[in-house]
């Protein structure tokens, strides 16, 4: 299905949570000199303009990154993420928002590598343009990341982060996420896997974290953030979450200290809240 374009949602509350966690995961990998691979099954375009094109339609960034980027009480734990957003924008107004591959590219070292999948042809072309200068470290496949992931597992350095954040426009995506991770763990049991999901009024959203936590990973972390009351119509996303398999041991404490502030800043009504839980050796 080729209708989804992440540019419509760039910089929204879900991106803030997802990319904050992603930056923490990559910074942890960087604590060791040994190389790592980053594999993204739904990479998008890599970076997005906020003041023109798709992003202006609903201006979702205004209730996301725009609420926190200049916050005077920004927690120190969020500063690396915010500094990277600022690096793309330079001084002045917020004009651009990075996609997941851009955050990775900024944190990569010489021996680290990215493997990116993007099925939408227009976004795949933009992705290639955005990372042309580091083409020696990046392979971009205009293909289905669910099907293509297995070809890169295990990565040669046996260290890596796999990000899976499909649009879930097709209900079967929920089951495909689980079967994809099941297969990935057989090939690369020690890898870190981050799975993003939306909070919607449908049972699949509530079942997915349960199914992922039941997989044979050594440990897991589950975080989600609700920003407003679900709509009476049942339409729309009222929050989002991530399940991280084999997370770094530091992540839970970082989130525990940061989420109260982030939820207060991004919350839109009295229903704003967060959930954080861990299992296994996490």
- Tell how strand 37-40 and strand 160-164 pair up: parallel
Catalytic residue among 125, 165, 269, 281: 165
**CA pair distance 96, 161, nearest whole angstrom:** 25
Give residue 86's Cα distance to chain centre. 18
In residues, how long is the chain?
Answer: 282
165 assigned to active site:
yes
Q: How far apart are CA 77 and CA 276, in angstroms?
A: 16
Query: How many CB atoms neighbour CB 219 within 10 A?
Result: 16
Known catalytic residues are 165
């Amino acid at each position: 299905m080729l209708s989804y374009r992440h540019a419509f949602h760039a910089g929204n509350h879900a991106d803030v949570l997802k990319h904050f966690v992603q930056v923490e995961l990559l910074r942890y990998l960087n604590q060791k000199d040994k190389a790592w691979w980053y594999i993204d099954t739904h990479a998008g375009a890599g970076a997005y303009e906020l003041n023109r094109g798709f992003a202006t339609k609903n201006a979702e960034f205004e209730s996301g990154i725009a609420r926190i980027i200049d916050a005077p009480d920004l927690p120190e734990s969020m500063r690396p993420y915010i500094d990277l957003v600022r690096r793309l924008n330079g001084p002045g107004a917020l004009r651009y928002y990075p996609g997941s591959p851009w955050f990775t590219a900024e944190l990569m070292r010489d021996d680290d590598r990215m493997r990116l999948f993007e099925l939408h042809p227009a976004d795949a072309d933009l992705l290639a343009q955005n990372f042309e200068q580091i083409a020696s470290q990046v392979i971009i496949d205009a293909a289905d990341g669910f099907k293509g992931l297995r070809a890169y597992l295990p990565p040669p350095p046996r260290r890596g982060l796999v990000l899976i954040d499909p649009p879930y426009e097709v209900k079967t995506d929920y089951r495909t996420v689980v079967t994809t991770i099941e297969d990935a763990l057989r090939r690369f049991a020690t890898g870190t896997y981050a799975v993003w999901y939306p909070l919607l009024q449908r049972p699949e959203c509530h079942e997915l974290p349960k199914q992922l936590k039941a997989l044979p990973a050594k440990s897991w972390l589950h975080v989600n953030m609700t920003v407003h009351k679900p709509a009476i119509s049942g339409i729309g996303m009222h929050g989002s979450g991530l399940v991280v398999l084999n997370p770094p041991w530091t992540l839970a404490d970082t989130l525990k200290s940061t989420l109260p502030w982030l939820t207060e800043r991004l919350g839109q009504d009295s229903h704003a809240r967060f959930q954080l839980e861990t299992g296994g050796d996490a």
